[in-house]
Amino acid sequence: MSHSSEPSAEIGFDDFLKVDVRAGVIVDAQPFPEARKPAIKLWVDFGEPLGVKKSSAQITVHYAPEELIGKQVMAVTNFPPRQIGKFMSEILVLGFPDENGEVVLARPDKQVPKGGRLF
């Protein structure tokens, strides 16, 4: 994954609509010490019909597992699952790099319903 600040190639609106970005609530977060890079295993509840989905997130610089429970996050929910070590990641939790390139989670600034889709 590129962390470039260069603009991406132009896409059409129909391409944007293919990316299913939804709001969910972190219901569990566990350390992931066996990951190649420091990470936290997340379980995010998107409500029905998606339910709870898992993700591995490299967010250990700014977040501890216990402080993540109950936080709303945004995630891409329609990528294929990806094996990360012995853990199957089903979603991509979204974030932005800080001034040192470390991930800061992308979150709604007000509470929104679980499973709400970005538009």
Q: For residue 87, is it within any domain?
A: yes
CATH number at residue 36: 2.40.50.140
Residue pair 26/68 in contact (Cβ under 8 Å)? The answer is: yes
The domain containing residue 74 runs over which residues? 14-105
Q: Which tokens go with 113?
A: 């319903």
In a domain, 3, yes or no: no
Is 91 within a domain?
Answer: yes
User: Residue 70: how many CB atoms within 10 A of its CB?
Assistant: 9
Count of the separate structural domains present in the chain: 1
pTM comes to 0.92
The pLDDT profile of the chain, 119 residues, written as one tens digit per residue, is: 455 678 999 999 999 999 999 999 999 999 999 989 999 999 999 999 999 999 999 999 999 999 999 999 999 999 999 999 899 999 999 999 999 999 999 999 999 999 999 99
Residue 95 lies in a domain: yes
Q: What is the DSSP letter of 37?
A: S
